[in-house]
Homo-oligomer: A and B are copies of this chain.
Amino acid sequence: MYTVYLAGEIHSNWRESIIRGCEGYDIEFLTPEHDHASSDDIGKNVVGDQENNFYNDHVSAKINSMRSHTYIKHADIVVVKFGEKYKQWNAAFDAGYAAALDKKLIVIHPQEFIHALKEIDGAASAVVESEPQVVDILKHLIR
């Protein structure tokens, strides 16, 4: 009944706990590539070394965007997790992309990011701190 895209950080396996927590429910989960190295190197692997950091990243990012943009369009609900590490601008970008397409947004982040994430939280339908809360929400929406 719902298609849910799990955007955001790919350095921990947080997606699995949500997918496992919703087993048996009529929810289709979509995810980004989460093998970090493969994600970073797909450009180089397919079109060869561009001999330039910017373009090596550029080619990979554009290939990966075919997945993230398409899956956000397929989704009813987009869950974005902001973790402790890295800039995570792509997570915020995905949140904006989803919001503009009028997808429902659930944001996961620790309390310390309240001020920095206020614009994204303002666009969200729910703001939580942990994966089990997302599971509770999704189960509530579908029973």
Which residues of A are interface residues toward B (Cβ below 8 A)? Answer: 1-2, 30, 33, 38, 42, 45-47, 50-55, 57-70, 72-73, 76-77, 82, 86-102, 104, 106, 113-128, 133, 136-137, 140-141, 143
> Per a CB cutoff under 8 Å, which of B68, B91, B124, B133 touches A46?
B133
A62 with B122: in contact, given A47-B133, A94-B96 (CB under 8 Å)?
yes
Q: Which residues of B contact A46 (CB under 8 A)?
A: 126, 128, 133, 136-137, 140
22 contacts between A and B (CB under 8 A): A33-B143, A46-B133, A52-B55, A57-B115, A57-B121, A58-B118, A59-B126, A61-B121, A61-B122, A62-B124, A63-B140, A65-B123, A65-B125, A66-B104, A66-B106, A73-B76, A89-B92, A89-B119, A92-B96, A96-B98, A97-B97, A99-B100
A33-B140 Cα distance, complex, nearest whole Å: 8
Q: Which residues of B contact A60 (CB under 8 A)?
A: 118
A53-B133 Cα distance, complex, nearest whole Å: 21
Q: Which residues of B contact A69 (CB under 8 A)?
A: 104
Q: Which residues of B contact A82 (CB under 8 A)?
A: 89
Question: Which residue of chain B has its CB nearest to the CB of A54?
Answer: B114
Closest Cβ of chain B to A61, distance in Å, is 4
Q: Which residues of B contact A76 (CB under 8 A)?
A: 66, 70, 73
